[in-house]
Structure 1
């Protein structure tokens, strides 16, 4: 549900001929709801003790050439006359040599500008804020009309030459400008472990639901191949993901093939132990865990019997557990759904069902788990089945989102068991904008998603920088651009 972006502002000095909310390089005028937050502490505006401060967004939202994003009305519960909206800006990474910097704040109701409140940290020209530097902290004090508009419609932030690093709302009518505090996430943070809160999961229509029939969205990190980055399977790493990143799920990626894979020279017992340890740690922390038979670039029938043996072994060991999901073929390729993948699934699923009759089982689709339409046309008949869809945001853009939305509208239960913020290779350009377009779609349809990957490999998709040797409790400085973005996104979710 993207809108067209804001039309040109021709006539105002630095605007030249005016700019639209789109760029020639692609579809960027769409509205992205991203109200992320960070759990790290820092110096910002803080409220008096009796009122509420909320971080609405934390990350690196590039506004570039008049792009915009939206923050949903639900995050303005505490807005009132005198509340202060604080926007921290940096230079746009895509418009590095901008000769001027502009920002507009609008109610998400036909782009009604917020113009009546007082502003510090920026000059003002009509309905446009004009900071003197891209590195600014702009405070806008809401009028009563502003507060009401944001409560009803939400906020649009649009700009030129800027990126947004943080947006906070201080709900107090009496605000100080100094102080250190830990921002409160806009997602619902709870000390109740996810599995305690939700119990056994099942599939209802296109949705994952909990033991009470409520919709559930799983989200979290995938390990890289356990053969190479198994050290990240540790209790404290998973605890960091649960408590600091607000996640509720972790994925354990076991490569059957590839160098030192489970079936190609790897230490089978050690790899199995990584799987067992990962399940045990997740269970101790009350997290959900996906056991991923990481078929990559081949027909899954080539290792079908080995898959049956593996899943039988794991499912029999953990037959009474309600937090395990089984992913039976990560990314089958050159494998027709009707004649190859579906028959494979019909052989493997009974082996799991014999041990865990109600477990969620996720089945990959052809072409690196992109061809979900085939599963819609000829679905498996078992209960509690979901279908994988994978994307890498700098490669797979609006065309792929349209495909996914089509099958979701048709009722197919989809689980994004792997996504990246970069090229499909796992490397190349990091694309924050396209990633957040994807987040908006997935959140709108309650689709679960898992990020690739929790490791320090020197590639764009990694969440940890290559120089960090820490295996848990990572500071934000130890996170890559991708790691910081997905952490901020996870912090917006209601666990």
Structure 2
């Protein structure tokens, strides 16, 4: 590598900043993510599990409940049409969604479907196309400033541990810096033990935590009907930011009631919540558990009663499904396209619930970005990747050692082309850079909202 003088390195700053910024995805609107920040678990003053946002933190009255749609399994053309930038943007505009769930097929599934010339097969058979479907949805969500769940949509994820680790490593490394992203590790475990689910989840969480502290969702035995089984035996998460999923279908499952031999699904979820676990409804349907049935068929206003249950506990949710599959719980008519939605009976009902979502949002910290706690990630025009603000700390470089005085900081090292080489949190005192190859670099040091850039020469 050609060695540059410090002035020459700094003269390259604008080009490097421009290059690095080009790698980021910039929202085109102010939505729920800008207002709430990263979603995080916590307990209210009664010890009940809730979800909060990093902008206001964990305090009574600051609970965050976001509601939106789950895409159908990524194996059918009637679903894939909505796994697009246009599909996500149309749901934001027409349905007022705050969150979208990308339910990716994970195994060797092959339903002989084709979409845009692609034979639709699960991740185990065609990882590249399946990853691209997910990435398209994630990036559309970030542009629309809504939350997105990356869902390993499997009933047997505990038998796919290595594949899941590989997948979530890439997703966390690529998108884990965005507050929008939520990782769902195990869609619906079937009749296996909680210990089997936990063993799998602990391994995958460990991989994700190398790159991201974002919210993680973990399933539980018998189709996410038993989040209370994690009480006293929670997953191992170094960031303590894991919630437990709960799924229901309104015609099939009960929000209340119990006997000596039977406890309703809602009561089990409530037990988990009252025990301090944060619970997230990552999938629910208006009809029967098999996807069939009209809303409230055979029950008295059960959809509204389930909504009352969710609102009481501030439970976020994603409705199954944003598709034109021919089943009762699909939201869209067969004539729908990803830019023009016509709704089924189920879709109109869900749309009426989503209509009570906010229609406008205020950016956390006002016009200057996310200074109250949300991650900026270089997406705000007032905070470019190499911005320098008022500093409350001192940085110096002696030899191959970076010295930081004034507190703990995040240090990121970039090549002269703007490629990030390393990122280390909670650096206090000194940081050895001797492991870097000989050459020239930029270091970005951030402590709270303050950032500074230093040129580094490794000899």
Task: Tell me the TM-score range normalised by the shorter chain.
Answer: 0.5 to 0.7
2:134 aligns to what? 275
Whether 2:251 is the aligned partner of 1:394: answer: yes
Q: Residue 270 of structure 1: SS of its match in structure 2?
A: helix
Distance apart, 1:313 and its partner CA: 1.1
Q: Are the aligned partners of 2:103 and 2:153 in contact in 1 as well (CA < 8 Å)?
A: yes
Whether 2:76 is the aligned partner of 1:220: answer: no
Given the alignment, which residue of 102, 105, 108 partners 1:255?
Answer: 105
Q: Residue 269 of structure 2: SS of its match in structure 1?
A: helix
Q: Deviations over 1:253-298 (max 9, x none)?
A: 0011233543453x322211111111111001101100000012x3
1:157 aligns to what? none
Return the alpha-carbon distance in structure 1 between the equivalents of residues 122 and 208 of structure 2. Answer: 19
- What does residue range 156-305 of structure 1 map to in structure 2 within 5 Å? 192-205=30-43, 206-210=49-53, 211-213=55-57, 214-228=62-76, 229-257=79-107, 258-259=109-110, 260-265=120-125, 267-296=126-155, 298=156, 300-305=157-162
2:330 aligns to what? 462
1:132 aligns to what? none
Q: Residue 232 of structure 1: SS of its match in structure 2?
A: coil
Q: Residue 225 of structure 1: SS of its match in structure 2?
A: coil
2:293 aligns to what? 428
Q: How many residues of Structure 1 are paired with residues of Structure 2 in the alignment? A: 296
Q: Residue 389 of structure 1: SS of its match in structure 2?
A: strand
Return the alpha-carbon distance in structure 2 between the equivalents of residues 301 and 233 of structure 1. Answer: 26
Return the alpha-carbon distance in structure 2 between the equivalents of residues 275 and 390 of structure 1. Answer: 21
Q: Are the aligned partners of 2:81 and 2:87 in contact in 1 as well (CA < 8 Å)?
A: no
Q: Are the aligned partners of 1:461 and 1:482 in contact in 2 as well (CA < 8 Å)?
A: yes
Distance apart, 1:431 and its partner CA: 1.5
Q: Are the aligned partners of 1:254 and 1:261 in contact in 2 as well (CA < 8 Å)?
A: no
Which stretches of structure 1, 4 residues or more, deviate above 4 A after TM superposition? none
Q: Are the aligned partners of 1:393 and 1:435 in contact in 2 as well (CA < 8 Å)?
A: yes
Distance apart, 1:469 and its partner CA: 3.8
Whether 2:343 is the aligned partner of 1:487: answer: no
Q: Are the aligned partners of 2:294 and 2:345 in contact in 1 as well (CA < 8 Å)?
A: no
Return the alpha-carbon distance in structure 2 between the equivalents of residues 319 and 454 of structure 1. Answer: 25
Q: Are the aligned partners of 1:328 and 1:348 in contact in 2 as well (CA < 8 Å)?
A: yes
Cα distance change of structure 1 residues 218 and 261 upon mapping to structure 2, 3 Å threshold = farther
Q: Residue 227 of structure 1: SS of its match in structure 2?
A: coil
Answer with 453-462 or 238-247: which moved more: 238-247
Distance apart, 1:442 and its partner CA: 0.5
1:412 aligns to what? 277
Q: Are the aligned partners of 1:295 and 1:331 in contact in 2 as well (CA < 8 Å)?
A: yes
TM-score in terms of structure 1 length: 0.58
2:7 aligns to what? none
- What does residue range 138-153 of structure 1 map to in structure 2 within 5 Å? none
Return the alpha-carbon distance in structure 1 between the equivalents of residues 358 and 312 of structure 2. Answer: 13
- What does residue range 27-106 of structure 1 map to in structure 2 within 5 Å? none
Q: Deviations over 1:390-435 (max 9, x none)?
A: 0011110232222222322222210010000111001124227111
RMSD: 1.6
Q: Which runs of 5+ in 1 are unaligned?
A: 1-190
Answer with 304-313 or 270-279: which moved more: 270-279
